[in-house]
Chain A
Amino acid sequence: MGEFEVHRVRFFGLVPAGVRCLACQPRGTRLALARTDGAVEVYNFAVNYFQEKVIPGHDSRSVEALCWAAGDRLFGAGLNGEVTEYDLARLCAARSVDGCGGPIWSMAANSNGTQLAIGCEDGSVKLFQVVPGGIEFERNLDRRKGRILCLSWHPSDTHIAAGSIDVLRVFDVCSGQTVQRIMVNYHVQKVKRECVVWSIAFLSSGTIVTSDSFGRVQFWDRERGTLVESHTVSTSAVLSLAVSEEEDSIIVGTSTGATYQFQLLPVKAGSLEKRWVRTKPFQHHTHDVRAVAHSSTALISGGLDAQLVIRPLMEKMQKKGYDAALRKFTFPHRRLVSCARKARLLLFQFSQHLELWRLGSTDETGKDGEVLPLCRMPEHLVQLKSKGPEHIYCSCVSPCGSWVAYSTASRFHLYRVQYEGNGVSIKKVPKMPKLLLPAYQLQFSSDSSSLFVASARGSVHVLQLLEPGGCKHQHTLRPPSGSPEAVYLLASSADGHWVAAVSGDWAIHIYNLKCFKHHCSVPTYSCAVTALAIHPVTNNLVIAYSDQQLFEFSIPEKQYTAWSRTVQSCGLHRVWLERDSPITHITFNPKNPSHILLHDIYMFCVLDKSLPLPDNSALLMNQGTLKQLPETARKRQLHAFKICKKFQPLLFADLLDENCLVMVERPIMDIKTQLPLPIQQKKFGT
């Protein structure tokens, strides 16, 4: 018999939305990403590409273009015709300005981020001034028919190149006049077909780079309006294009899922003549690559298959290591599943609805690795649809399974779920207390008597749950020094004494719930917190950071534990540190207090504090070899990390009771079948 009975859950039908656009923060370390459902995410490269902020989508607010302006202000524009500024501290749309030109297809900021240009359906290019507290309409440029699909500023801010259907135009920013009009036609035996300029880039040398629907990447001379070079990279459309800051490299994305790099290379050694050469092809995506970005060290592409691929440029890397690895992100770096341990329920969070499932059960036992037959099938109990256009921020189910809570941007809902035999009745709790919304994280206390609501400005609301279906605002916990950022992670202790909260500036505050006072804060660490949990026995706070470091902080003693100090002095195993997905959940085994259970997308790990830490020469993933060793040799080989990679991609893992685990998987193939068919390509030999 194995150590755990595992529920292998594959009925979480999550389909991540495709990537619509990408924007690298100029001279910064952040990457903004917009998905086709209107969600905006911010990844921070400085902290191991962690998905730092997520602003859930909105039905009427699709995002067609994103750009950073005035340092770290993020603007988005979409087909609703509005330019929206996002509040990255409160994770919501701050304010919107109507562009007055119909749907907006493109937006670009000038080099110093003081002006925004938008391209509209009606063919107009409008300039907006970025002012503190919003944007102000400045003026219209020369307007012609045909939607403006892409825009690019000249680095000197004097000209704007705009791509439309069959034509690209160059505007003088000062006069607002069209100074150059270039036809981008495509003739096939006298039949003229519409040629869409999907993407454009204006280089400082005066060269304009376009990508079009005939698979061409073309280089134009702005002064003369002539074609300098043309590269056909694909038989289908080239949808996106991005230029590096040094303007010596271009990445393009095609609708077949392939991306190509162009490099400006000298024709001969030592000569000044340079030419754009198509160099590396990459095929990481299966569907349209709608967005690409070029950071200083990596090529970034996002496709309709919901993947964000970061492909580092090896020649820019100083050494092999963490940064030099290819990484692919499909799933969010946060938990979308919550588990009611006692009631054996799982709550799945989708963008606009929730699903409550009861786990199946078995009455048989078997050997290690055996699949047991179910005596009761898993059951879909409730589907809760969120009303209105707003998408769900967070959700939670109480450990007893009788409370379900979720929050959208403007509303907060709490439901009372009652189980009568096989039937389930669900009742909305009326008269909710007025809270500062939205809520970014919800957490029930372990006895299901209270609910912690993470809120903006570092505050945490404590709601008391009343039988038979009511609630009362009890207290609001605030950090003593105040914080502009919202709380995004919560952890409560099993004995109901403590709650820990992490805000967007990565500060961890611990509050005492008996007296509703700030107890202490964990020493700050320069990395994002990806998961934390309080040990039910020792009340030690275990923290996982995005650089894969693990800390253990004793709440009663207000200091790091001895084990944590040994970990810091010895260092973690190199292989552990080079993993590229963050730990998203931590839990404990009450039967074995020295065990910490953690998981990321690709592995599940039981960390045994009582065993020695492995050094770099030891094999980190040694479970397979250990099995083959005799008992005595096995003792010597044992180390603290016991890693299982059987379940992939792993979205959630939790311990139901002492010897029962639940693993929520979402196989990539299941997602692929939900996506539309990719472009048919002839493959040799098939």
Chain B
Amino acid sequence: MAAPATLRVVRCGGGTLHGARAVFSVDAYLLCASGDFVKMYSVATEKTLRVMGGHGDLVTGIQLNPHNHMQLYSSSLDGSIKLWDFMDGIPIKTFTVGSKLLALYALASFEDSVFVVIPKSGERDTFQLVSVKLTKAAGQDLEAKELSVVLDGVDASPKCIAFGREGEYVASVKEVNLQVYFFKRKQLNRFSVSAAKTKSGNNHFMCIACHPTEDCIATGHADGKIRLWRNFYHKKEYTFSTLHWHHDTVMDLAFSLQGSSLLSGGVESVIVLWRNESEHQRDFLPRLGSAIEYISMSPDGTLCCTLHTDNRITIINSNLRFSRSIQGLIKSTNVKTGLVVDPRTKALVLNGEPGHLQFYCLQSDQQLFSLDIVQRQYIHQAGLNQTDLVKVAFSAQGEWLATVEEREEVTDPELQLKLWFYDEETQSFKLNTRISMPHEDHITDMCFRDMDEVEDESLILVTTGSDCVFKVWVMVEDTDPEGKLCVSWSCDFVGSYHNYQATNCCFSEDGSLLAVSFEETVTVWDSVTWDLKCTFCYSPGKIRNICFGRLTCSKYLIGATDHGFLCCWNLLSCALEWSAYLNIVVLQPDPLSEHIAAISWLSKDSSLFVFKPNEPRPIYIQRNFCKEKIQLAVFVPREEPETIGSAKYLWLRRSQLFFLTATQELITLSTKSLEERLTPSSKQLAVEDSLPVTPFSLLLGKHRRHQSQEDIDLGKLVVCNKPEQDSPAVKELLHTPAHVLPSASFLCPVFINSLLISKGNTSAEEVADEVEMESEKTEDDSDEERDVTEMEQEDTSPVELLGEITCKLSKSQEKELRKLRKMDYSWISAF
């Protein structure tokens, strides 16, 4: 296995911006512009099926090819239009237009041209709608230079232009003006609304939609009104009616397929369905989680899809029932909680919806669940101080969860500390203790004593506050009115140091020491007697982060100051071991190894340093790996240690490092190449994963496991070692639907040949065994991960191994083997 030369920075979720309305394909796939990718989701399973990358900048528009619904046009700020075969994820053609493309529209009535919005050359902030002729010439990369201007002075947003029924006219809105251009008559009509400013905001146009069968234009305004324009082919006798429900900006509008109803959405996160254009016949789908950014309808009209500002995608039935939601990492306004790993599910835990805690599964890029912490109705209103979640901590086993919520007030913040206990029955967290005003001022940090023992007595929670104290909370047992024993939390100890604000706290690995930083000083406390053991202070500058070293380096304490120093103190000698001049923003220890990751931010680039506390020289440095500021980082333990070729990257073996950027994009470092990374996702598509477990297969599985174990005992490793990737014939046979398979007589020789090991010393029955083993291996690998990976490691040279193992067989073993073969195993089937 050749080691890859460098670590790759991989964007693995969150953060990406929806640049355009989503598009439903005819066969129930959802295509969505996401950052500079186009993602394809399955509407039925909510899974991400394909990520199509190729654009060099934000994708601003996607449209199905109106003449071939298996193809997709996409436009990007990099100035190119790409035509994709989205079923296979292949770019068919690339048309280079040359200027930034801000929106894309494709119409059936225009044979070989599409419409794009481009900046007007020579003028700033003015845009025009142009039609681009897409040449039919052969070749992949084409130039599309035949532009003709349709409308001048349009808005940059893709929601501000809409094409009318059958492409008869195009309507565009900007500020207080609406312009309608009729293609056939070549007539341009302009209308405007009075630029009245009311207390609910101005009445600027925000979005536009055209009725699919009638001459009717719906416009959404910043003051929450929807206007329905009719008769707009007369310059004077035009008329409009008003629908008003939204209290804030109408973000997007969509007509139903027949135009009998209109959907609107806004910051209220409510979908409003207006029937028959009547103000009094409306239905609502409330509580969609966050502000609605785009609405789109499926071509058969049965589904509607909303894209939200927090990156969620919601699919809604036509009868306004919530159908399903595709949610990766939910974008919250401010990740105050930091990145925390739930020890139970290994999910990433951070702020989700306002007042909620999201549990995000890194493997499947899906939200596992959202825990309502604040438990209060969220009111969408500008300037309203909302209660929000600011701190979260898990106990080592994940049984206890501590959360701090805070309502920002100018004079004194409203604080609440909540402790949640994991209820095995309901499989969710249950509120155990609620402490209001645990501190007089903001809580700056919180941690559990991180001990793996299951004794409840050792569980301690420490909170530090800006009110210059840190508090120690312990569990106390008492009886409730019904006489049942229950536990609750109460304050045990309050510590302070010279009336400095406590900023960070951290327990040593064995839990015997607690380090609390007070502005410029780090204090170390005995966690049993709560005596102040020693203090450390280095250079001016407040302490930003502290952490203890782990495993062999547990005698070290690391601290980062906001004057750009990283210090390492030796706890035994109480002296500074080493220090380095680095502007560290994030300091994150790996829970499974001695490694500590530090991320520095220098003017415009983030750099990563990984070091062991016992040696001042970092093991790994990656400079300028991200243009954005890294806000947070976390080590997530791997389910299985990865095989890392290069010693340089050994620190990535047990855990994986994830970062959250300022735009809330989740990125990670990977040693694998792109192809390797993508294979698991294609594997997901395969049928075998979703095979139902039948009693028969269970029985069969048990029987085979027995056999295989015995075979392993017999040193028949060679059988299991056969990697499944090597047998395309097997795969083809097993995965192709029966009705398209060629005849069995044709397949048989190919199949058998593929199973033969090149040396050709295995008998026919063994071959049959081998097939069974293989499918079994995939079933078992969750149970015996370790073994399998080790086996795969050995797999690098199967032939050599085979030789070695067979050599080792002594004569007596061979005898035993023969004996075993003669034995009757039919009794196993009785189980």
**Contacting residue for B214 out of A232, A263, A267, A684, CB 8 A:** A267
B11 at the A interface (CB under 8 A): no
The interface stretch among A196-204, A274-282, A531-539 is: A274-282
Q: Which residues of A contact B280 (CB under 8 A)?
A: 215, 232-235
**A267 CA to B214 CA, complexed, in Å:** 5
A265, B239: Cβ atoms closer than 8 Å? yes
- In this complex, what residue of A is CB-closest to B247? A684
A232, B277: Cβ atoms closer than 8 Å? no
**Contacting residue for B278 out of A231, A261, A684, CB 8 A:** A231
Q: Which residues of A contact B238 (CB under 8 A)?
A: 315
A269 at the B interface (CB under 8 A): yes
Q: Which A residues between 548 and 595 are near B, CB-CB below 8 angstroms?
A: none
B241 at the A interface (CB under 8 A): yes
Q: Give the size range of B's interface with the partner.
A: 20 to 34
A237 to B: closest C-beta gap in Å: 14
B233, A277: Cβ atoms closer than 8 Å? no
- In this complex, what residue of A is CB-closest to B237? A315
Q: Which residues of B contact A266 (CB under 8 A)?
A: 215, 231
A280, B239: Cβ atoms closer than 8 Å? yes
**A231 CA to B165 CA, complexed, in Å:** 25
B154 to A: closest C-beta gap in Å: 22
B241, A280: Cβ atoms closer than 8 Å? yes
Q: Which A residues between 211 and 247 are near B, CB-CB below 8 angstroms?
A: 215, 231-235
B236 at the A interface (CB under 8 A): yes
A369 at the B interface (CB under 8 A): no
**A235 CA to B247 CA, complexed, in Å:** 20
**Contacting residue for A279 out of B168, B230, B233, B278, CB 8 A:** B230
Q: CB-defined interface of B276-290 with A at 8 Å, one 1/0 digit per residue? A: 011111000000000
**A277 CA to B236 CA, complexed, in Å:** 17
Q: Which residues of B contact A421 (CB under 8 A)?
A: none
**A268 CA to B211 CA, complexed, in Å:** 10
A423 at the B interface (CB under 8 A): no
**A279 CA to B231 CA, complexed, in Å:** 11
**Contacting residue for A280 out of B168, B231, B240, CB 8 A:** B240
**A315 CA to B233 CA, complexed, in Å:** 13
**A278 CA to B279 CA, complexed, in Å:** 10
B242, A281: Cβ atoms closer than 8 Å? yes
- In this complex, what residue of B is CB-closest to A231? B278
Q: Which residues of A contact B213 (CB under 8 A)?
A: 268
Q: Which B residues between 197 and 252 are near A, CB-CB below 8 angstroms?
A: 213-215, 228, 230-231, 233-234, 236-242, 247
B247, A685: Cβ atoms closer than 8 Å? yes
B230, A277: Cβ atoms closer than 8 Å? yes
Q: Which residues of B contact A233 (CB under 8 A)?
A: 279-280
**A267 CA to B241 CA, complexed, in Å:** 15
Q: Give the size range of A's interface with the partner.
A: 20 to 34
Q: CB-defined interface of A254-290 with B at 8 Å, one 1/0 digit per residue? A: 0000000101011111000000011111000000000
Q: CB-defined interface of A303-316 with B at 8 Å, one 1/0 digit per residue? A: 00000000000110
A277, B168: Cβ atoms closer than 8 Å? no
**Contacting residue for A269 out of B168, B228, B240, CB 8 A:** B168
**A565 CA to B165 CA, complexed, in Å:** 61
**A453 CA to B675 CA, complexed, in Å:** 107
Q: CB-defined interface of B152-171 with A at 8 Å, one 1/0 digit per residue? A: 00000000000001001000
**A215 CA to B279 CA, complexed, in Å:** 12
Q: Which residues of B contact A684 (CB under 8 A)?
A: 247
A277, B215: Cβ atoms closer than 8 Å? no
B267 to A: closest C-beta gap in Å: 14
**A685 CA to B224 CA, complexed, in Å:** 13
Q: Which residues of B contact A235 (CB under 8 A)?
A: 280
Q: Pick from B165, B241, B281 the residue with the most CB of A within 10 Å.
A: B241
A256 to B: closest C-beta gap in Å: 12
**A315 CA to B235 CA, complexed, in Å:** 9
Q: CB-defined interface of A391-432 with B at 8 Å, one 1/0 digit per residue? A: 000000000000000000000000000000000000000000
A269, B247: Cβ atoms closer than 8 Å? no
Q: Which residues of B contact A269 (CB under 8 A)?
A: 168, 215, 233
Q: Which residues of B contact A277 (CB under 8 A)?
A: 228, 230, 239, 241, 277
**A277 CA to B247 CA, complexed, in Å:** 24
**A498 CA to B49 CA, complexed, in Å:** 100
- In this complex, what residue of A is CB-closest to B236? A315
Q: Which residues of A contact B241 (CB under 8 A)?
A: 277-281
A348 to B: closest C-beta gap in Å: 39
A279, B247: Cβ atoms closer than 8 Å? no
Q: Pick from A231, A266, A279 the residue with the most CB of B within 10 Å.
A: A279
Q: Which residues of B contact A261 (CB under 8 A)?
A: 239
**A685 CA to B238 CA, complexed, in Å:** 32
Q: Pick from A231, A235, A261, A268 the residue with the most CB of B within 10 Å.
A: A268
A279, B215: Cβ atoms closer than 8 Å? no
- In this complex, what residue of A is CB-closest to B381? A685
**A280 CA to B279 CA, complexed, in Å:** 12
Q: Which residues of B contact A231 (CB under 8 A)?
A: 278
Q: Which residues of A contact B231 (CB under 8 A)?
A: 263, 265-266
A139 to B: closest C-beta gap in Å: 42
**A261 CA to B240 CA, complexed, in Å:** 10
A278, B278: Cβ atoms closer than 8 Å? yes
- In this complex, what residue of B is CB-closest to A261? B239
B235 to A: closest C-beta gap in Å: 9
**A234 CA to B236 CA, complexed, in Å:** 28
**A261 CA to B769 CA, complexed, in Å:** 83
Q: Pick from A231, A278, A314, A684 the residue with the most CB of B within 10 Å.
A: A278
A299 to B: closest C-beta gap in Å: 13
Q: Which residues of B contact A267 (CB under 8 A)?
A: 214-215
Q: A277-B230, A278-B241 are in contact. List 7 more A-B contacts (CB 8 A).
A: A215-B280, A233-B280, A235-B280, A268-B213, A279-B239, A280-B240, A314-B236
Closest A-B pairs by Cβ, 4 of them:
A232-B280, A315-B237, A279-B239, A279-B241
A-binding residues in B (CB < 8 A): 165, 168, 213-215, 228, 230-231, 233-234, 236-242, 247, 277-281
Between A and B, 29 residue pairs with Cβ closer than 8 Å are A232-B278, A232-B280, A232-B281, A233-B279, A234-B280, A235-B280, A263-B231, A263-B239, A265-B230, A265-B231, A265-B239, A266-B215, A266-B231, A268-B165, A268-B213, A268-B214, A268-B215, A269-B215, A277-B228, A277-B239, A278-B241, A279-B230, A279-B239, A279-B240, A279-B241, A280-B240, A315-B236, A315-B237, A684-B247
